[in-house]
Amino acid sequence: MESKHTQWLEINAKALEHNIRQFQSLLGEERRLLAMVKANAYGHGMREVSQIALKSGVDWLGVNSIDEALILRNQGIQCPILCVGYIPLHRLKDAVQNKIRMTVYNEDSIKELAQICRSQNIKAHLHIKVETGTYRQGIHEQEVIPFINHIRKHKGLVIEGVSSHFANIEDTTDHSYAENQLNRFQNFIRIIEKQGVQVPFKHMACSAAVILFPQTYFNMARIGIGMYGLWPSNEVYVSSLLRESPQFVLKPVLSWKTRVAQVKRVPKHEFIGYGCTYKTTRDTCLAVIPVGYYDGYSRGLSNASYVLIKGKRAPVRGRVAMNFIMADITDIPSVQVEDPVTLIGKEKGDSFTVDQMASLIGTINYEVTARIRPGISRIVV
């Protein structure tokens, strides 16, 4: 086995490049592509993904926190970085000094930023988030003119963008709510431009929007899940099949691997794992596997999922523990300690996907990958 680790993620650089090219071809050359690498690049490894994405021609990176932004800057990344999450007032200085673009929607943040820019004689690049119906971050229509006027009073504050985010574009094939949000966004842009403000970047599109609706592109899109080779939802996949454009193919980027820690024989009618939730129905051969819920392998997969060993399915028996699972290898001959195990990914023609894992535990693919423990090594292959 090549890896020296107990468990590791393989990040397929070619698949990532392919997915980025797919989005680039939809967006066209003149629009900017912002790669969402927040939440440790949806669990894929922010450092690794950012490097590959930039080499593939991504223009901007998107993070959630100032800490994520600074990790990228400390890695030597010079491209524009937009922080889409909240930056506490006492961290705004770090953002300005490191040229991190900020998503703004609070008067308090503007006051603090104005003070920082004045005292340090530097500029802050702001992206105003407008409320179109997600009710997460953003300012209301009636607030937008006073907000802009407040920003324009300060020489150091530059309105670089206006953004919003769709609430209901993934969960449905009825896109009327998304269309309504798009109309509200366009209205915000009209109001802002009527004030004589030129907005260099207008952005609202996420993966689903880019796949389904060219009218959401404006001049920049923020792509997350699709870049990782995962569909935003089944509904988006189905809707995309109805489109005239050539079929859009996404290639999963991540595989999750480990190795067998112990092989043991268990007689018929013995219980396996905490809570005695599984009783053997035959003389059984088990592989003990050194991965558990601490790593992001959900406890909800107890007695539910399978892993791949020698390309064959080994069902998980008993509860997922903090650091271990047990898998039934009775029907897989001659498994030995250190044999490779695939938790997510392909092996010899069979696979276990992020989407399968998500549906077994009643969640979405975003949550499955984002919860994989950051400390696990990410290996670019």
Ligand X SMILES: Cc1ncc(COP(=O)(O)O)c(C=O)c1O
| Residue 63 within binding range of ligand X, rule CB under 6 A | no
| Cβ-based nearer residue to ligand X, 84 or 325 | 84
The rounded distance, in Å, linking the Cα atoms of 45 and 373 is: 10
By rule CB under 6 A, what string of x and - marks binding of each residue 82-121 to ligand X? --x-------------------------------------
- CB-closest chain residue to ligand X: 224
Considering only 27, 206, 320, 358, the residue that binds ligand X (CB under 6 A) is: 206
Angle at 214 between CA 213 and CA 220, to 5 degrees: 110
Joined together, the tokens standing for residue 357 give 């894992």
Please give the Cα distance from 330 to 345 (Å, whole number). Answer: 22
Residue of 55, 111, 264, 274 marked active site: 274
Residue of the chain from 207, 258, 280, 342 that contacts ligand X (CB under 6 A)? 207
Mark whether 105 is an active-site residue. Answer: no
Q: Shortest Cβ distance from residue 109 to ligand X (Å)?
A: 17
Per rule CB under 6 A, is residue 165 in the interface with ligand X? yes
* Residue closer to ligand X, measured from CB, 211 or 327: 211
**254: nearest Cα among 11, 2, 7, 8:** 11
Closest CA to 210 of 374, 26, 337: 26
DSSP letter, residue 304: T
Among 225, 289, 326, 332, which residue sits at the site for ligand X (rule: CB under 6 A)?
225
Backbone angles phi and psi of 285, in degrees to 5: -110, 130
Site for ligand X (CB under 6 A): which residue of 93, 101, 222, 317? 222
Q: Which of 222, 224, 250, 245 minimizes the C-alpha distance to 32?
A: 222
Could you report how far apart the first and last alpha carbons of the chain are, in Å?
14
Q: Identify whether 237 is a catalytic site residue.
A: no
What are the two backbone dihedrals, phi and then psi, of residue 178, each rounded to the nearest 5 degrees?
-65, -40
Stretch that binds ligand X, among 185-193, 220-228, 280-288, 298-306 (CB under 6 A): 220-228
> Which stretch in 90-98, 200-208, 314-322, 335-343 sits in contact with ligand X by CB under 6 A?
200-208
Which is nearer to ligand X, 12 or 207 (by Cβ)? 207
Residue 224 lies near ligand X (rule: CB under 6 A): yes
Closest separation between CB of residue 219 and ligand X, Å? Answer: 15
**Minimum Å distance from CB 130 to ligand X?**
12
Which residues have C-beta within 8 Å of that of residue 337, sequence separation ≥ 6? 260, 261, 262, 263
Other Cβ atoms less than 10 A from the Cβ of 95: the count is: 22
CA 105 vs CA 161, 334, 362: distances in Å:
12, 61, 33
- Residue 259 within binding range of ligand X, rule CB under 6 A: no
Measured distance CA(238)–CA(170) in Å, rounded: 11
Q: Map the footprint of ligand X across residues 228-257, applying CB under 6 A.
A: 232
Cα 152 to chain centroid distance, Å, stands at 34
Q: How far is the CB of 301 from ligand X (least distance, A)?
A: 23
- Catalytic site positions: 38, 274
- Applying CB under 6 A, the residues found at the interface with ligand X are 36, 84, 165, 206-208, 222-226, 232
